[in-house]
């Protein structure tokens, strides 16, 4: 175990991982043998940074040995264009594995949060089978319980109101500069989950100094993630300019900007567009990060300008995001939701 750690952290020793694939493969096998998965993931991240092992992602036999996590997926996406063809499918398998794990963790909470927050209070007295509100129907017919048959024979059926299929529009604007890699991964997974719900219309727009609408990829998280271009600059104003025409029903639209706010474009233009979006009646949320680590670095000046517009800037974990969307859909006070979650605005 000591030798495994020395190979990574003892920079004074001549021995180490070296440049050969067998050495790295052996080291990857050793750390999985001696340490639990969370520690393995930490050691892999340290190896990537300390020993320049980005090349691990360029060799299929090494990539197959890695215990995947969200940070690794971000690194893979950053190196996507540099990968040789023989490595690309292995990389997709790694991304597919972690995407499936994240979907399993986040799918049900997101569905429950959104379905539970949408107004379905309108009663339908002649519902079709798929419109039945079973809980309301049972409660309304408890007096018709038949003891002999141990069942309820309902006198009346109660269903959900037949509303339009999509009650809310959610637009995710995702900063794909290099510092936002893990947030991009989580935003992609959560965006795909929301896009699978008929009750909301979800758009996902990624941006650096250019803007690309990835909404057509929301059916497949792996395809969506590989369509991102991590590592560029940032022009938030340009992304907002693209998003404004997407706002068809302002009072039923939620825009979520996921960015550390380091604006490379014109700050005045960005703030002007945010002001216009808010004035239209759309809700605007500023997330400095969407990951489990928080927001280690962000533009405090622009965050302060958002505070003047009554827009809190804060970091949110993926597990908190469904609750955030539920609060926004119900138009609850964002400050009250943050207080309940123990989240403090950074501005």
pLDDT at position 250, please? 97
* Distance set, CA 186 to CA 26, 202, 250 (Å): 31, 15, 26
Residue 271: HSE in the Cβ half-sphere, 13 Å Cα cutoff? 14
Domains of the chain, by residue range, sit at 2-67, 107-114+164-341, 123-160
Whether 8 and 45 have beta carbons less than 8 Å apart is answered as no
Residue ranges in the chain whose pLDDT is less than 50: 13-22, 121-122
Question: What is the number of residues in the chain?
Answer: 347
Task: Identify the three-state secondary structure at position 154.
Answer: coil
- Which CATH number applies to 107-114+164-341: 3.40.50.300, 3.40.50.2300, 3.40.640.10, 3.40.50.410? 3.40.50.410
* Structural contact between residues 247 and 283, judged by C-beta atoms closer than 8 angstroms: no
48-97, pLDDT tens digit by residue? 666 665 666 666 676 677 777 888 888 788 777 767 777 788 889 889 99
Q: Token pair for residue 199?
A: 């009750």
pLDDT tens digit sequence for 148-200: 899 998 888 887 655 555 589 999 999 998 789 899 999 999 999 999 998 89
């Amino acid at each position: 175990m000591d030798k495994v750690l020395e190979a990574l952290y003892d920079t004074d020793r001549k021995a180490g991982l070296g440049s050969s694939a067998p050495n790295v493969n052996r080291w990857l096998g050793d750390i999985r043998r001696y340490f639990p998965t969370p520690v393995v993931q930490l050691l892999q991240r340290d190896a990537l940074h300390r020993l320049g092992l980005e090349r691990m992602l360029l060799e299929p036999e090494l990539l197959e040995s890695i215990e995947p996590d969200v940070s690794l997926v971000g690194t893979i996406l950053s190196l996507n264009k540099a990968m040789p063809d023989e490595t690309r499918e292995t990389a997709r398998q790694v991304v597919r594995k972690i995407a499936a794990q994240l979907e399993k963790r986040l799918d049900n909470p997101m569905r429950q949060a959104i379905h539970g927050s949408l107004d379905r209070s309108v009663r339908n007295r002649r519902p079709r089978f798929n419109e039945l509100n079973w809980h309301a129907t049972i409660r309304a017919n408890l007096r018709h319980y038949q003891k002999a048959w141990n069942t309820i024979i309902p006198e009346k059926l109660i269903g959900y109101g037949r509303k339009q299929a999509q009650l809310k529009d959610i637009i995710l604007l995702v900063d794909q500069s290099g510092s936002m890699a893990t947030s991009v991964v989580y935003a992609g997974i959560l965006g795909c989950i929301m896009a699978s719900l008929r009750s909301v219309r979800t758009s996902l727009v990624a941006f650096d100094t250019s803007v690309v609408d990835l909404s057509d990829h929301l059916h497949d998280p792996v395809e969506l993630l590989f369509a991102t271009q991590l590592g560029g600059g940032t022009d938030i104003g340009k992304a907002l300019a693209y998003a404004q025409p997407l706002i068809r029903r302002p009072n039923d639209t939620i825009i979520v900007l996921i960015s550390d706010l380091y604006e490379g474009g014109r700050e005045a233009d960005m703030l002007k567009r945010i002001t216009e979006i808010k004035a239209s009646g759309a809700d605007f949320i500023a997330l400095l990060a969407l990951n489990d680590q928080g927001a280690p670095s962000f533009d405090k000046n622009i965050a302060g300008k958002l505070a003047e517009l009554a827009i809190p800037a804060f970091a949110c974990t993926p597990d908190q995001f469904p609750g955030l969307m539920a609060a926004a859909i119900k138009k609850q006070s964002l400050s009250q939701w943050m207080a309940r979650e123990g989240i403090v605005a950074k501005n």
